Amino acid sequence: MTQACRHCATPLTIDFVDLGFAPPSNAYLSEDALSAPELTFPLRVKTCPACFLVQTEDFAAADALFSPDYAYFSSTSKGWVAHAADYVEMITARLGLNADSHVIEVASNDGYLLKNFVAAGIPCLGVEPTKSTADTAKCLGIPVLQEFFGEEMARDLPKSDLVLGNNVYAHVPDINDFTRGLREVLKPEGVITLEFPHLMRLVEHNQFDTIYHEHFSYLSLLAVDRIMDAAGCRLFDVEELPTHGGSLRIYACRAEARHTETDALRAVRAEELARGMGSPAFYTEFQARAERVKDDVLRFLLDAKAEGKSVAAYGAAAKGNTLMNFAGIGKDLITFVCDAAEAKQGQFMPGSHLPILPPDVLTDRRPDYLVIFPWNIRDEVMAQNAHLAAKGTRFVTAVPALKIHG
């Protein structure tokens, strides 16, 4: 059976990449669960030949992927927290937000961003489906509605001057319903901002490890333009950001609103078309590039093992789980992974079953090589662990190509 596009219902006939079978990337395991069967799903991505939305084949439901004990906490990364604070300062000034305004963040996680609006006295509301992160935000005094966001529930929310979502647009299975929900909560001249990894940069920098079941879509401006238009919205501005290996922050409004389209938006549209993102050929060469990284990583790890070198990893991130499971890497090649998020410590990586330990164990168990899975915060991790490099540890990243630092 051929799957239909989740936006325009056209049959998906263009293969983008096949990463084999893997468990959900954030389905961390307790020690007791290690002896139980582990459910895996195909991780295949297709491209729509009509609207060019890149999307996973559907094998897992959203409520299975974003469980109550979901372990991703945005505040773990100091760099991301600073990014959120800078955004709040910028958008408050740009839109003239004040105590008479209202802000909604969809997928507000642990309050990493909304706490800045609370501190500024700007009324706000978070919508967050996962209990673990929502509870953390509530402890900060942030009002949170613990639900999945969509058009029907949006009708009961207050109309807002700003509705934002960071790294959530790719995570929604029904992107049309979600987008109609965004329009529903806007005041007539209200603004939507969404940040998401840019498909153009994913392909350019070979970021196949950002593909996992929780990411239902991989977004270009070309595709988002069409999705917004179908929901009664329109784009009027865009910023290119360095976050997550290259992201877009799009600005949208109701179709009838007065916001003026910018030169920046026209420039990104033109670049995507110039790179061929409006034709099938752009999407058919990615598989071979992913496999080259897999082969190089396996070769490095096997050589390190043969030489008697120890290898550990840093960051029990979804990126690492995709790489580990695609390459079939287990505890025989990487002995453990460290992560600063306490919610992950003491658990095990899905698929590979690497134990997740606190970062301070690295001082006593100093490895010869430390593989940094979340390459997007590589500099932050290397700075935090400079004491290891001083004693001989070498840092390794796999994407866009295998690189040994130092």
Cis omega before residue 400 (within 30°)?
yes
pLDDT bin (cut points 50, 70, 90) of residue 230 is very high
Is beta strand 356-357 parallel, antiparallel or unpaired with respect to 337-338?
parallel
Instruction: List CB contacts of 317: < 8 A, sequence separation 6 or more.
Output: 339, 373, 374
d(CA 362, CA 190): 48
Q: Tell me how far apart the alpha carbons of residues 353 and 335 are, in angstroms, rounded to a whole number.
A: 10
Q: What is the pLDDT of residues 365-398, one digit of tens each?
A: 999 999 999 998 999 999 999 999 999 999 999 9
Count of CA atoms in the C-beta half-sphere (13 A) of 382? 17
Question: Does the global pTM surpass 0.85?
Answer: yes
Collapse the DSSP code of 153 into the 3-class scheme (helix H, G, I; strand E, B; otherwise coil) and give the result: helix
Distances (CA, A) of 72 to 25, 259, 319: 11, 35, 12
Domain ranges of the chain: 74-278, 286-405
Domain 286-405 in CATH: superfamily?
A: NAD(P)-binding Rossmann-like Domain (3.40.50.720)
**Distance between CA atoms of 280 and 384, rounded to whole angstroms?**
43
- Cα angle 354, 217, 90 (rounded to 5 degrees) comes to 95
pLDDT at residue number 320 = 94
**At the top level of CATH, which class does the domain 74-278 belong to?**
alpha beta
152-182 CB burial, b ≥16 within 10 A, e <16: eebeebeebbbbbbbbbbbbbbbbbbbbbbb
Gap between the Cα atoms of 257 and 315, Å rounded: 43
Question: Mean pLDDT in the chain?
Answer: 94
Q: Establish whether domains 74-278 and 286-405 are of one fold.
A: yes
pLDDT tens digit sequence for 352-369: 999 999 999 999 999 999
- Please count the other Cβ atoms lying within 10 Å of the Cβ belonging to residue 401: 13
CB 46 within 8 A of CB 55: yes
Q: Is 364 in contact with 336 (CB distance < 8 Å)? A: no
Enter the tokens of residue 30. Answer: 């307790």
Q: Tens digits of per-residue pLDDT, 73-122?
A: 777 778 889 999 999 999 999 999 999 999 999 999 999 999 999 999 99
Kindly tell me the burial class for residue 342, based on how many C-beta atoms sit within 10 Å of its own C-beta (0-12, 13-18, 19 or more).
exposed
